[in-house]
Amino acid sequence: MGFDVLRVGELAKFVLTAEEVKSFNHHINEMMKMIEILPEIPSGEGISFGTKKLSELRDDIPEKSLDVSKVLENAPTTKAGFFVV
């Protein structure tokens, strides 16, 4: 599978030097090699992750919220009770 670093750079409006193109090509080729072997990795039934326990979720218990004015005290800029970003 070919990957055109120059074309991607052009689409992203990057100006790449010859050395950067060479470096990116190397790294992308290494990533592609890793991606190509993924189907060979066993998955599904019989795979162990060190525990038989599924993710445990905590109970969703409503708690008292923070006071808005206290939270906004640390904001550099606010407007109408909200942070300004």
- What is the C-alpha to C-alpha distance for residues 18 and 59, in angstroms, rounded to an integer? 55
Please tell me the pTM assigned to this model: 0.45
Upper half-sphere CA count for residue 61 (Cβ side, 13 Å): 3
pLDDT at residue 37 tops 70: yes
pLDDT at residue 12 tops 90: yes
